[in-house]
Amino acid sequence: MSQLPERTDALVIGGGVIGNSIACQLAEAGVGTVLLERGALGSGSSGTTAGVVRTYFPGNALISSLAVRSLSAYHAFAERTGTDLGLKRIGLLVLFTDEHQVQDFRHTQAAQQAAGVDVELVTAAEAARLNPLVDERTVLAAAWSPEAYACDPAAIVRGYATAAQQAGAILRTETPVTGIGPDGRVHTPAGSIRADTIVCAAGPWAGTVAAMADVHIPVTTYPVEMLLTDSPGSAPRNALPMTMHPSSLRIRSWGDRILIGMGRPAPDESRQAWLQRVSHRLGTTFPTLAGNGLEHGWSGDLDVSPDGMAFIGRDDSRPFLYAAGFSGQGLCQAPAAGEIIRNLVLGKESWIDTAGLSTARCLSGSAETG
């Protein structure tokens, strides 16, 4: 293992979509940047996603605003980094099954549109036209947002990493951070490095990394399992919109199968019982999928904050910045998160007031994901 440089302007911990976006944007702004990743780039949460970027986040116009900003960066990504993200428009359908959900949508639609989100209320019949698997008798209405895309998450990591290196950043893999001293010295098995500014982008492990610097980031790890229908040909030939049900069931096409997310077994529930619950919910919401077997797709760790919104900000006591807790939405926000961190390092204003993103909002309550 070669030695680390003696010092750097900024040291980014974590080589997922967030850390690489930050490293790229810092390096391109002329900030001397080193990124340390304990495994391979993209080997954390970023390597386990459903591969969807969208702009509509029901109930949270601030997240939507970060996602709108990020999507426009993704549209310019190939030109900027030379890497094609394989963006393919699929759209997002959020099903409503009771009147309260429809009312909530109406109350928040103006804020969403002000954030730049293209979203409208559609009838149950229209929802069934947009996604032919939907049984219009089981839904009241739906929100339809055309701006949702399937993409290649590994290409996001690769594109930012390549651009960061071209701009002079040093990216070190297989280099875990094992300690952070009060003097800004960061320790690894390959030696230590002094950083003027430390940026924690360690995803689900951000709380553990921040604790090394005596900083509290209330991010928890929430393991989830993705499932696939077991029969080839279960997905219609045209790609389905990503479709979310109030039960937390969400589906999208995955080749000729359907990719399904519905969290994980409840604490007192066996995996078998959970699979039966997913299968039942799938069959009631999308009757043509009733009777399909379910296969394990893959598992991953969600990076959950107490209120489902990321922490992006600076600790008051030391030059320690953080971007973590994206709660299942990190692909959708990586470009904007990198831009905000870069601006904080440079002492520049961002395009939105970022105060509400700081850990100082000190939330309590149960974890939610978008």
Do 213 and 198 form a contact (C-beta atoms < 8 A)? yes
User: Which residue has tokens 């601006």?
Assistant: 343
Do 332 and 211 form a contact (C-beta atoms < 8 A)? no
Judged by DSSP in three states, 171 sits in strand
Which residue among 141, 159, 199, 303 contacts ligand FAD (CB under 6 A)? 303
Q: How far is the CB of 137 from ligand FAD (least distance, A)?
A: 29
Establish if 13 lies at the interface with ligand FAD (CB under 6 A). Answer: yes
Which residue among 177, 289, 321, 341 contacts ligand FAD (CB under 6 A)? 177
In the bound state with ligand FAD, the residue whose beta carbon lies nearer, of 225 and 315, is 225
Q: Which two tokens stand for residue 34?
A: 């080193």
Read off the DSSP letter of residue 238.
Answer: S
Which residue among 226, 239, 294, 367 contacts ligand FAD (CB under 6 A)? 226
Residues numbered 104-163 forming contacts with ligand FAD, rule: CB under 6 A? none
Establish if 19 lies at the interface with ligand FAD (CB under 6 A). Answer: yes
Q: How far is the CB of 363 from ligand FAD (least distance, A)?
A: 18
Tell me the CA distances in angstroms from 63 to 117, 146, 177, 194, 310, one per residue in order: 11, 17, 29, 33, 8
Residues numbered 24-43 forming contacts with ligand FAD, rule: CB under 6 A? 36-39, 43
* Rounded Cα gap, residues 340 and 312, in angstroms: 8
Read off the DSSP letter of residue 33.
Answer: E
Which residue among 11, 12, 18, 34 contacts ligand FAD (CB under 6 A)? 18
Binding mask 322-351 for ligand FAD (x = CB under 6 A): --x-x-xxxxx-------------------
In the bound state with ligand FAD, the residue whose beta carbon lies nearer, of 45 and 65, is 45
Pairing of strands 191-200, 320-324: parallel
Establish if 254 lies at the interface with ligand FAD (CB under 6 A). Answer: no
**Phi, psi of 300, rounded to the nearest 5 degrees:** -155, 170
* Rounded Cα gap, residues 258 and 271, in angstroms: 20
- Tell me which residues touch ligand FAD (CB under 6 A): 13-19, 36-39, 43-46, 48-53, 176-177, 201-205, 209, 224, 226, 300-303, 324, 326, 328-332
